[in-house]
Structures are given as C-alpha cells and as structure tokens.
Structure 1
Amino acid sequence: MKKNLLLMMLILLLGMLAACAPDREEVTEPADGEKPEASEEPKPEKLVIWEDLEKSKDWLPAALASFEEEHGIKVEFKELNMADKIRDQLRLDGPSGNAPDVVTLPHDQIGQVVTEGLIQEITVDDTVLKTYSESSITAQMYDGKLFGLPKATETPVLIYNKALMPEAPKTMDELYTFSKDFTKGENYGFLALWDNFYFAHGAIAGMGGYVFNETADGLDREDIGLNNEGAVEGAEYIQKWYAEGLFPKGIIGETGGAAMDGLFNEGKVAAVMNGPWAFQGMKDAGIDIGIAPMPTLPNGEPVKTFMGVKGWHVTEFTENPYWATKLIEHLSNDENSKARFTAVSEIPANVALVDDPIISDNEGAKAVAVQSQSAVPMPNIPEMGEVWGPMASALQTLATGKAEAQDALDEAVKSIQTNIETNHPAK
C-alpha cells in the first residue's frame, strides 16, 4: 500500500514539473542537402559603384539596366582611376558618408584596403565561386576570407614576330636553341625583362621558388621561398641568358622596357615576354604578331608568371551589403563578363568563356586565358611591398654578372625580412 502511494506521488510530482516547464518551439531540421534561406535586407532605392576610367562604355549601362529590371534597384556609376584614385578617394569619402556601395580594385591592393577597413568580406554560394578560375578566386582572398569577385585577369605571354618566327616554340629549350642561332648584331631571338621581378618570377616560381608560402589561413609572411633550391635554379637559368649574350645590356634597369619595345617594333627581335597591354602598340608598329602561352621550362614545368586580377568589391561603408554583393555577382556573371570583354578587351576570369568563340578565336585572349591557368596571383598582403626592391637589386647583379645566384638571393631575402619586421610589426 505504501509502495503504491509513493508511486502515485512520484507520478504527480513529475506531472507538475512538466506543467511548470517553459514552452519550447518545435524545431524542424532542414531536409538533407537543403540550406535555410539567407535573410534579405530591405531593397534600397539605389546603389552606387565606381568603375575604372574609360571602362564602362558599351557594356556597363546595359548590365545595370538588367540588374534594375530583375531586382527593382537603380544603380549609378562613376569612373575613377583604378590604380590609385579609387583607393585614395574611398579613404576620404568613407568616413564622410559619401562612399559608394561597390568599387573595383587591383587584387594586390586587397590586403592594404582590408587592413584599413575600406572593403568587407562577402559571402556567395559555391555555384558562384565555380564561375571563375581557382587562381582568380584565390587572388580575391585575404586571411582565408573572400573580399571580392574577379572581373578581369592579365599575365605575361609569349609575343612573336611571325615574319621572323613562323610558329611559337613549345619549350624554352627550343626557344634557347633558336635564340643561339638567331642572335647576331642587333637581332635577338628572345627578350624578357628578367631583371624585373614581375617578369623573372615566372622562371623562379616555375623552378620551385615562391614569395610567401600559401597556407590554409592565407600567405605566411614568415615563410619566404626566394632563396630555396628551386629559386636558385631559376635565377641561374635567368643568368645564363645574360651571360651568353642573348640579352643586350641595354634592357637592364628602368629604361629596359622601352628599349625592348623599341627593338621589337623595329623588327629586330623575334619574340618577347610581355603582357596584353603591349599588343596594340606592336600592331600599330606594323608587326604581324603571334601570341601564345609561355613555353615550358627545361624541368617540364610551366613558366609560372605573376597574374594580376581586377575585381569588384563591397565597401565597408555600404548600408546594403547583401544587395551590393548581388550586384557584383551580376556584373561578373558570364553574360556581362562577355559583354565587358567585347567592349574593353580585358580577359575575364570566367571558366565558361575560355572555350567561347569570343575568347578561343581571339589569339591574344586565348593565350592569356591559358597562361592564367598556371599563373600565380601576385601576393596581396601589405608585406609584398617589401619584396620588389631587394629582388630587383638581386636580379640586376645577376644580369651584370656581379654575383652568384645563391649569394644574391640570400642577400635579397635578408633585406626583405628586415623590412617586413621594421615596417609591418607582427600583430
């Protein structure tokens, strides 16, 4: 009897506790493969973007009109010099409340402007990321976070005079043999500004060197690979072309680019390593040019040129980050990227366009697109500013035969490390 009474009291107590418990909403788990929808912020009446000078005609108004038609948001644009004016003006207009929602910048400025709080991280679906080449997306990242979407890429390629070199060589060994036979007097088989680290990086990285090691968290400024075994092999390969007289002494230093362009446009050089910015000037000089990806190095690896990526970015000052992100997705989609290429001849990073006739039938665009697949985005962390000077000094001592590769690169890396420690204190 007592046992029954105790059992009844226990049941009654549990019932009272359940009655006193707070109400809980029933949680429904999403079905496998489904993601909860992102909450959309209210639609603004308008958005504002800053595009590069003389890069909006014949494509941007139509792209903005289609965005307004789809989303009901008007977009205004303004043109400013992308290399420096956009960044400098954003520093002024951001704090004063006059900043745009979207800007375009070269990717090597990303680390700096993120550190200054000028642009913000963006979030997009994987389906959007797959629109672009992996390297171009890597260029838009800093500290493992995405800060933009790519709109155009550029990288050096092989440009040759068809009257002197009917077909592009497939390997640097072939190009070397050609140059040994062709180089006489003022005529040269192949020229490259390999005393300039922007161009020399292709050989150094292709042999195994690197600027900053790439980690899951971004670039490691403490791990510099510019004097490792591969970098030394690349530097020795570069030095060989100078030591054997295949490059003239006049293309070393600040005037080297103008000297190289002059020789090529005079018909005295069969091939050069240069970027898409040089195409039109060569054509205007009356040279029938061919354009191809860089030949493979003696080790069978590609020349890993530096790649520059221009991108669209959401500013830190916008009140509409969701819609600003939707706008840059729209501007850089396949349709609008194709229209932009037609208008301004800057090669898009969209993988679907590589095989599009508008790219594949354009020799220069195709060469840049193919070369970009093995290119390395220029490091976009602020510490990269400490690399150019020491590496230029090292390469010029190699070009003039004043130092051995290992010694020159050891000295360069030592200077780079000292400059980073002095000018970029660890956080």
Structure 2
Amino acid sequence: MSLLSLILVLAVALSACGGKNNNGNAASPSASPSESSAAPSESSAPSDSPSAADDNAEVTFVFYNTEDEIKALRDNTDPGANKTPLVIYDQLKKNYPNYKINYQNWGWAEDLDSKQRAAILSGNVPDIVRGETFIPAYASEGILEPLPDDIVQMVNPNYLIKDNDGKPVAVAAEGTIFLLFYNKELLRKSGIDPETVKLDTWDDWKKVSDAITAAGKGKFFGGGVPSHPHFGGSLRFTSIVRSIGQDFGGGDKVTIDTPANIQALQFLRDMDKNLPKGVGNNPDEGPICCTLFEKEKSLAFVINGTWAARGAIANGIDLGIAPLPVGPNGKPSNTRVGFVYSAVPKASKNKEAAFNVLRTMLSKEVQSIMASQYSVAVANQEVQNDAANVYKDYPWMQEIMKLLQTNEFQPLPVFNKNNAQIWDIINSKVIARTTISNDPIDKIVKEAQVEADSALK
C-alpha cells in the first residue's frame, strides 16, 4: 500500500519447503493488552540467545528498500519523511557488522504476498517473511516458527499474531489505529468553528463534510471514506462498519449480505460525493492522503493512521484530530493498521540470524528513535511505558499508547480457504463497486455473497 511506502517490509531469502492448511484463528492478539507482558510461548525455536547465530551469517533480506534506497534516506530533506528503515539498517550494521546482507525490494501488499509464496513454493524459502494483512493467513497455515520467549516478552501483545496452537509466531515493530484528521482552516472557510465542531456520529461528519464541499465549489472538498479496490479501502471501511456491530466474518464464514453492511455501504456512497470524482476508489492512495490533504490542502477530512499527523504538520496544516465517528446506535471501533508483521518460516535454515534481526528491530534503542523522531506507535513495552517522555512532542501519540495498552484491537478477519480471493471480492466487488457504479447496494452484496461463499467451499 502506497500510504505505507516508508514502513519497513523485510524478508530473508534462503532455503526450502511449504506448509499445511489449518483454520483461521490466527488473527487474534496473543493476550489482553492490559497485561504487563505477554505470556511465555512454548516455542520450539532455537536458543533465545542473540549470540547463537553465526557471526558471519550470509542473509538475503527482501527489504522494502534496496540498500541504495535506504542509504538515500540519509540525505532526504523532506520533513515528513519516515527514516525508520535507515534507523534499523544502521543498528544492524552496528550489532552484526560481519553479516553479509543483500537488500532487495519485493514490493508491497498483494505483490509482496505472491512473491513470498512463489519463493516458498520454488524452494527458495525466505528467512523472514513480512507483510500486513496476509501474515495472519501464514500463521493459520502453520508455516511459521514460534517466536523466542524474549521477543514475545519484549512487546505489547497487540503487536503479536498467534498460530492455531496459540503460540506467537509473528510480531510487528510498529502499528496503529485509524483517526479522523481535518484541516481547521478549510472548516473556517466554510463557516464552521473547528474548535467546537461536532464529529461524533456518521450524521455529524456528513453534515460538516457536505457543507465544506458546497462552500468549496470545486476548489476544495469535505472528504469521505476511501473505497480503494484493495486493503487500503477495506481497512478503513471495516473500521467504520464495525461501529454498528458488523464485520466480514472469518474462518469458515463470510458475511457480506447483511442489513448493517448495506447501511454502511450507503454511507460510503453518500460520503464519496465529498471527494473529487474518481479519487476515493482510485487504486493509488496518494492523491487523497498526500496530494489533496497534505500538499494542496484542498481536502478537509482524511481517515488515516497516526503517521498522517506528522506529514500534515510538516506541511503547515492547522490540524484537528478526532476519533472515528460511529454509526447509528453504534460504539467506537477501529482496525489495526500499519502493523507490518515479521515472521520466520519453519523451513528457514538461518533462524537465529533472522531472530537477531527481529531483536534489533524491537530493541529499546531502535524503537525509541522510531517513536521520538517519527511519531510511530512502536511495540516495545519499555518505550510504551515511557510514552509521556518519548512522545512529548506528539501529544496525540500519548493517547494512542493508552488505547493500545488498555484495549484489544483486531486486524482484518482471516478466511480458512482462498483468503486472498475472498478479500479481492470484498475490496473490488463490494467496497469499490459501491462508489464506482450506481448499482443497487442490495444487488452488490447479494452477488458478492454468492461469489465469496463459493470461494470458501
């Protein structure tokens, strides 16, 4: 996903093999985030000692940046640039100077998933697989090595993914939830007081957004719910629809054709009128989050992760931040976003070097820099517990840390069979179709339900 293009994606290519299919319960966090630390895993991994790996290990990382791109970040003068890949790169050089590392870029989202799976099927098994929405499916398939206990104990349980046996097998170095960001100046131009504006419900938000679009007369817009035909759309829409108690199922069931989904999809369609035509359902997320909102300052509202605040402020926006509005008779809801999970396949022949990479990413040294300089919501428990100090320049992040430490947030559901195909149906033939076409919404959900049920059989 382009909005996450500076978030680290990392994998290591080496040896061989595949995995079995199991049920899809891996999407749940390991434990209640209110616990001071995660329960120890019954890991079958090698020694937890960081020194157990060969100091001269030869590893190939499928990074989200090539080595040249990582080094170029050092000279990047964009004030909104996220240089966390460089921070991790430098720390790995310091901790393991003799590692022979070859960095390569395998892309993101569906491209990354397909390339990692192709590598596994070909016998070129990565030592570390990476990804956001599809890693729970890897966990469900039983192909991931349980994490060593020291890694599990190091992080907030919200940042872990379990396999079907209840063992943590994947971990994210950072992650957040969605918020509603708005440009106060555009509200003022539209005759709305940004200091007293009410944005608690869908109706509240729609009234304000409609008024801004009307006042803008084609020069600026209120903004709505993105309907990108990929996980950029489903992540945001799921956060919205969950507020009225709806989800898309998971495991052996997919739920598309429901009254609540129809209601939420109608809201999605109505709000799309407050975006320039074709922007909300554009495969590229950049025009909304970066061009219109941050640079041109012609979009009043955007749903995004906490990283959006840094870019907006760097571009001189008088920024307002609110929780996501809730639907009729609903309650606050959200979805994990930006949780880029790392995991070591069971077939890896270089497990300890791979786990040392994870230890470096999750270390207090690296995570403190990521948090204090780039305002990302990091996983390390020690850093989270010191949020008032670490995030002293980012007050909104202190609130996010409280939420992550006291609430359990879910990723998107995982389906037992044809998970990627079912999500493609939801993304393209439900969410995006709702704004691309004028087809009746009840027809959209009925047809998609039939297709998804067939894929799940």
TM-score range, shorter chain: 0.5 to 0.7
Cα distance change of structure 1 residues 287 and 234 upon mapping to structure 2, 3 Å threshold: same
Unaligned runs of 5+ in 1: 1-33, 214-219, 422-427
Tell me how far 1:310 sits from its aligned partner.
1.2
Cα distance in 2 for residues equivalent to 1:35 and 1:109: 22
Displacement of 1:147 in angstroms is: 2.5
Give the conservation status (yes or no) of the 8 Å contact 1:194–1:395: yes
Q: 1:194·1:200 contact (CA, 8 Å) conserved in 2?
A: yes
Q: Read off the aligned partner of 1:121 and give its amino acid letter.
A: E
User: What is the distance in 2 between the residues matched to 1:130 and 1:154?
Assistant: 20
Change (3 A) 1:175 1:371: farther
Counterpart amino acid of residue 227 in structure 1: D
Once the 2 structures are TM-superposed, how far is the Cα of residue 106 of structure 1 from its aligned partner? 0.9
CA distance in structure 2 between the partners assigned to 1:313 and 1:37 by the alignment: 13
Matched, 1:192 2:225: yes
1:337 touches 1:350 (CA, 8 Å); kept in 2? yes
Distance 1:259 1:390, change over 3 A: same
Structure 1, residues 234-260: CA drift from partner, whole Å, max 9, x if none? Answer: 224334435xx5455443532785654
RMSD: 4.3
1:131–1:350 Cα contact (<8 Å) kept: yes
Deviation at 1:341, TM superposition (A): 4.2
Which structure: greater strand fraction?
1
Structure 1 pair 49/369, CA: closer, same or farther in 2 (3 Å)?
farther
Amino acid of the structure 2 residue aligned with 1:384 = A
**In the alignment, which of 222, 247, 251 is matched to residue 210 of structure 1?**
247
1:301 aligns with 2:331: yes
* Distance (whole Å) between structure 2 residues aligned to residue 134 and residue 37 of structure 1: 16
The residue that corresponds to 1:359 in the other structure is 391
Any idea what the Cα deviations from partners look like across 1:140-190, whole Å, max 9, x if unmatched?
646754322211225543221132344475513442342344331234333
1:59–1:339 CA contact under 8 A, matched in 2: no
Matched, 1:153 2:178: no
Distance 1:356 1:141 in 2: 34
Is residue 88 from structure 1 mapped to residue 100 from structure 2 by the alignment? no
Match of 2:340 in 1: 310
Contact 1:390 1:412 in 2 (8 A): yes
The structure 1 residue matched to 2:54, chosen from 30, 37, 44, is 44
| Structure 2 residue aligned with 1:253 | 281
Count matched residues.
369
Residue of structure 2 in register with 1:12 after alignment: none
Q: How far off its partner does 1:105 sit? A: 0.7
Matched residue SS, 1:148: strand
Q: TM-score, normalised by structure 1?
A: 0.68
For residues 323 and 402 of structure 2, the distance between their equivalents in structure 1, rounded to whole angstroms, comes to 6
Describe the SS at the equivalent of 1:190.
coil
Q: Which amino acid aligns with 2:238?
A: H
Q: Report the equivalent of 1:132.
A: 155
> Would you say the 8 A contact 1:206–1:234 is kept in 2?
no
Asked whether the 8 Å contact 1:159–1:291 carries over to 2, the reply is yes
Tell which deviates more after alignment, 294-303 or 320-329: 320-329
Partner in structure 2 of residue 378 of structure 1: 412
1:410-425 maps to which residues of 2 (within 5 A)?
410-421=446-457
Could you say which residue in structure 2 is the equivalent of 1:26? Answer: none
What CA distance in whole angstroms lies between the structure 2 residues aligned with 1:208 and 1:197? Answer: 16
**Contact 1:107/1:380, CA 8 A, preserved across alignment:** no
CA distance in 2, matches of 1:181, 1:284: 27
The 8 Å contact of residues 43 and 148 in structure 2, kept in 1 or not, is answered as no
Answer yes or no: is the 8 Å Cα contact 2:244–2:330 preserved in 1: no
Structure 1 316/286 Cα, relative in aligned 2: closer, same or farther at 3 Å? same
Deviation at 1:279, TM superposition (A): 5.5
AA of the residue aligned to 1:105: R
Q: Within 1, Cα distance between the matches of 2:41 and 2:434?
A: 56
The equivalent position to 2:351 in structure 1, one of 321, 342, 345, is 321
Higher CA-based Rg: 1
User: Using the alignment, how far apart are the partners of 1:390 and 1:96 within structure 2?
Assistant: 32
SS at match of 2:133: helix
Match of 1:394 among 405, 426, 430: 430
Give how far 1:336 is off: 2.8
Which amino acid in 1 is paired with 2:394? N
Deviation at 1:198, TM superposition (A): 3.4
Mapped partners of 1:228, 1:419: distance in 2 = 18
Please list, as runs of the form range in 1=range in 2, the aligned pairs for 1:7-26 lying within 5 A after superposition: none
Change (3 A) 1:230 1:276: same
